[in-house]
Amino acid sequence: QVQLVESGGGLVQAGGSLRLSCAASARTFSMGAMAWFRQAPGKEREFVAAISWSSSYTDYADSVKGRFTISGDNAKSTVWLQMNSLTPDDSSFYCSAGHHDLHPAKIATPRYDYWGQGTQVTVFS
């Protein structure tokens, strides 16, 4: 069983930055795609960013374009989310996701096989 473990969340002042990371807890086959989702209280889960190594493609939610950057190491099934210019609206519980062969056209959907436990991000003004 593949387990994804996130880190890097915390409390940050508005305008600041955080870098989230996610890695598989044990050796496994490399992921074809990995992503970040977030969910705030009373809200539905929201897509944030994804990377597909099979097609060398990345995708971002409009709300984070220009501020967040997703990157990763496919060989290690590791992904990072660099978050800059954070605002209170970015406060949420962030979860990583992975899939071995998810079609690139679906990387912005929640159709992933593996999910991390999540990490809390709180932005104060």
User: Residue 4 in contact with residue 115, Cβ under 8 Å?
Assistant: yes
Q: Of the ranges 91-95, 102-106, 112-116, which is most confident? A: 91-95
Contact criterion met (CB below 8 Å) for 9 and 120: yes
Return d(Cα 12, Cα 123) in angstroms, integer.
5
Average pLDDT of the segment spanning 49-67: 94
In angstroms, rounded to a whole number, what is the distance separating the alpha carbons of residues 44 and 86? 20
- Residues 98, 31: contact at Cβ < 8 Å? yes
Q: What is the mean pLDDT of residues 44-59?
A: 93
User: In this structure, what are the phi and psi dihedrals at residue 119, rounded to the nearest 5 degrees?
Assistant: -145, 140
pLDDT tens digits along 59-101 = 999 999 999 999 998 888 889 999 999 999 999 999 999 998 8
What is the average pLDDT value for the chain, to the nearest integer?
93
Residue 27 has pLDDT above 80, yes or no: no
Q: How many CB atoms lie within 10 A of CB 46?
A: 16
- Contacts of residue 12, defined as CB under 8 A and 6 or more positions apart, other chains included, come to 18, 86, 121, 122, 123, 124
